[in-house]
Amino acid sequence: MKKIILVMLATINILAWEINTHRAIDKIAIQKSQNLTSFLNASGIKNHIFKEDAINFEGYKKTYIEYILYGEKNGLSQWNQKFSYDQKYSYRKKATVPDLLEAGTILEDAQWPHTVYFDGRFANHFYDAQFSGSGSKGLVYKGIRFLSADLWALRGIDTVNRHNLYSYTNALEYFEKGFTESDPKVRKKYQAKMLVSVGHLMHMVNDMKEEV
């Protein structure tokens, strides 16, 4: 029995949370956050429906929602996620604020846009709390040392020069542009990217909490 428990604990620590668990944790956080509610009310976007031109997952030729549903036959799409905006299947092309926040927490485990299985954002999710900050240690895989989760979440560019476009630094940029750009369509695109980025960051907090 002790051996079984040790194997279970080791597996949980290596794999972190499953996609369903990430979404379940963050869904409650979204519903309970008074700060988020206040911000959405003050910004006027609480009940906004974001349409296809604002919610394209950059580099993947699909909306955020479509990528989750159909983008990875051997990964995210196997989890059969559902989203709230569902009028004659147009939810694939539209999203609410909670949809985008929850999409972000799922998409942080997305693969890079090709078919290699173990090559995705998740390679930068490992975190050794004893070596935090600039000396923190990330995953080493096939001779490549990836970024640790804290550095990836802050403003990551990993060791094979792939950018985290949904980092904390990016989220602040999207926030500014989402409410200052002169073109309403451009504002909506950046507002959507801001919300998705918050979901990505919630995912990272989940993972670092689990690994600590």
Question: How does 147-164 read in b/e, with b if 16+ C-beta sit within 10 Å?
Answer: bbbbbbbeebebeeebeb
- 56 forms beta bridges with 63
Cα 120 → chain centroid: 12
Domain layout of the chain by residue ranges: 18-211
Tokens of 24: 């379940």
pLDDT band at 147 (very low <50, low <70, confident <90, very high): confident
Q: What is the pLDDT of residues 68-106, one digit of tens each?
A: 988 888 889 889 898 876 554 555 788 999 999 999 999
pLDDT of residue 1: 41
pLDDT of residue 23: 93
pLDDT of residue 127: 79
Main-chain phi, psi angles of 141, to 5 degrees: -140, 120
Mean pLDDT of 27-34: 93
Least reliable range by pLDDT among 87-96, 104-113, 140-149: 87-96
Predicted model pTM: 0.85
Cα distances from 89 to residues 20, 86, 93, 94, 106, in angstroms, run 22, 5, 8, 10, 20
